[in-house]
Structure 1
Amino acid sequence: MNTKVAIVTGSNKGIGFEIVKGLCYKFDGAVYLTARNEERGRQAIKKLENLGLKPLFHTLDVTNETSVEEFAQYISKHHTGIDILVNNAGVLDFDKPITSYEDSKKLMDTNFYSLLTISKILYPLLNDDARVINISSDWGLLSNIRKQHWLDTLVKEDLSVDEILQFVDDFLQAAKNGKNSYMSFAGHYGDYKVSKVALSALTFVQQREFSKQGKNVSINCVHPGFIKTDMTNGMGDFTPERGAHAPLFLALEAPQSLKGTFVWHDCHQVNWDD
């Protein structure tokens, strides 16, 4: 099938759900709502169908390589590639500003390590002129990190994926070493901050790689705003619908030449490393 394809990970609720809704209204192609839990995913699909929209559904657990591979095989069988990929899946325990090593590792598996799995399995399916949007956060700005070594390392023009992995591993070791070590790395909610800083850094490294390979793929990260969702216990400045505004701008309206940038919720570019 030659239909264009848009995919949003972790999209059965919150910002992801609103991004799917916006794509269904504005994108001329197939829009995939994905979720780990099939029942919740189907319920979300039903809500959109009640609005007269026609999203497609597929189960996808971004932390499970087999699940990602099965999804990739399905897309390969039914379509000619991926045109829009929104990496939205993410977790945060808002009630725990300081978490254990085990909890921090689980968060990293969803918020960061999953992107490496997606890169390996789904990125080869990206069509020319494809757009990848990584959902970051204002906590994904480099200024959230307190360790000078990593402030210096993560801004290098030749930063590598291995160095980003070392950054994440260094934090997890700090989490293993206890509260004081945890706090000295990135403060409260350090695991979430580190996951989003790592995601942002990975965005820039991967854009550099795409450009080296001569592929006209744009990959950007975006702070959607402080959104009232289940993840924030309903606290926030914006509704999920408003939170979808900048991601949808990157997916549908931004020039293809906008590449490797950090975009704010009002769609302007910001310096990630200020």
Structure 2
Amino acid sequence: MDTKVAVVTGSNRGIGFEIVKGLCRKFDGVVYLTARNEERGRQAVKQCEESGLHPAFHLLDVTSEESLQQFAEHITRNHSGIDVLVNNAGILDFDKSVSNYEDSKRLIDTNFMSLLTVSKILYPLLKNNARVINISSDWGLLSNIKKQIWLDTLVKEDLTVDEILQFVNDFLQAAKNGKIPFISYAGHYGDYKVSKVAMSALTFVQQRQFLREGKDISINCVHPGFVKTDMTKGMGDFTPERGAHAPLYLAVDAPQTLKGTFMWHDCHQVNWDD
């Protein structure tokens, strides 16, 4: 029998860790807990096992093409493909509401550019009927952007990946020009907002591409709520377990017809571009 496979990136702690635990309870197949640090990843697996849950572990750094390739080769050797992929890996320096260019580039490389590499290497392994869930944020809504040219561009039905890259690079140029252009682009935490808006736009572009190719693959993005994690320095409205609620709904319970949406933490769809 063909065993189903679920993969959660950056899942040794926080929301990703709770998604892994939820999938171990609800998903009929192998669940991969992945982390870029092997010691922390294996410690997270041990915590799961102490609760009677048994995820598999694999080292994975989404910012490294080599690491992604090694993981893809492992999946190819041991399984027939991927049924659920949760793109959860991401960073945010909560202490810096305005970052310098170097920090902004590192954040965008991790939160957004890595998705393009994941798309290139892991998406060919997606089975028909696969589900992709992108962990976004309420800061991933288009209204977080202040430049009119991008408000007009990112909603186009024929938007391309190249145009999303132009948007990201335009922001990085603003970050390079200093604090005032940075804030005028998307306000405080502008680099994080840009990374998540770009993720949202990419979600919709890729869903349209899957449909054009005749593939029954769903890809949706989700705002899990303001969750108390290490990344938010313990601030937030929800526990990580509550933050995993909507991602788990998309991964396991949502109808396969739900495609190319932006979902709120309470599992209702919102208009991304309002």
**TM category, shorter:** over 0.9
Partner SS, residue 191 of structure 1: helix
The alpha-carbon deviation at position 2 of structure 1 amounts to: 1.9
Q: Runs of at least 4 residues of structure 1 off by over 6 A?
A: none
Aligned to 1:108: 108
Aligned to 1:10: 10
Counterpart Cα distance in 2 of 1:62 and 1:143: 28
Aligned to 2:119: 119
Q: Does 1:230 align with 2:257?
A: no
1:168-187 alignment, distance < 5 Å:
168-187=168-187
Aligned to 1:138: 138
Q: Does 1:19 align with 2:19?
A: yes
Partner SS, residue 52 of structure 1: coil
Counterpart Cα distance in 2 of 1:127 and 1:162: 26
Aligned to 1:255: 255
Counterpart Cα distance in 1 of 2:83 and 2:109: 25
User: Percent of aligned positions with the same letter in both sequences?
Assistant: 78
Aligned to 2:85: 85
The alpha-carbon deviation at position 121 of structure 1 amounts to: 0.2
Q: Does 1:157 align with 2:157?
A: yes
Partner SS, residue 90 of structure 1: coil
The alpha-carbon deviation at position 154 of structure 1 amounts to: 0.3
Counterpart Cα distance in 1 of 2:207 and 2:174: 29
Aligned to 1:194: 194
Counterpart Cα distance in 1 of 2:231 and 2:49: 25
Partner SS, residue 208 of structure 1: helix
Aligned to 1:66: 66
Per-residue CA shift, 1:12-53, capped at 9, x if unaligned?
000000000000001000000000000000000000000111
Aligned residue identity for 1:79: H
Aligned residue identity for 2:51: L
TM-score with structure 1 setting the length: 1.00
Partner SS, residue 220 of structure 2: strand
Aligned to 1:38: 38
Aligned residue identity for 1:179: K
Aligned residue identity for 1:11: S
Partner SS, residue 92 of structure 1: coil
Counterpart Cα distance in 2 of 1:99 and 1:41: 29
Counterpart Cα distance in 2 of 1:53 and 1:271: 36
Counterpart Cα distance in 2 of 1:99 and 1:229: 21
Q: Does 1:221 align with 2:196?
A: no
Number of residue equivalences: 274
Counterpart Cα distance in 1 of 2:134 and 2:108: 15
Aligned to 1:28: 28
Aligned to 1:242: 242
Aligned to 2:47: 47
TM-score with structure 2 setting the length: 1.00
Counterpart Cα distance in 2 of 1:79 and 1:108: 31
Per-residue CA shift, 1:153-191, capped at 9, x if unaligned?
000000000000000000000000000110110000000
Counterpart Cα distance in 1 of 2:28 and 2:60: 23
**Structure 1 stretches lacking a partner, 5+ long:** none
Partner SS, residue 233 of structure 1: coil
Aligned to 1:268: 268
Name the Cα RMSD after superposition. Answer: 0.5
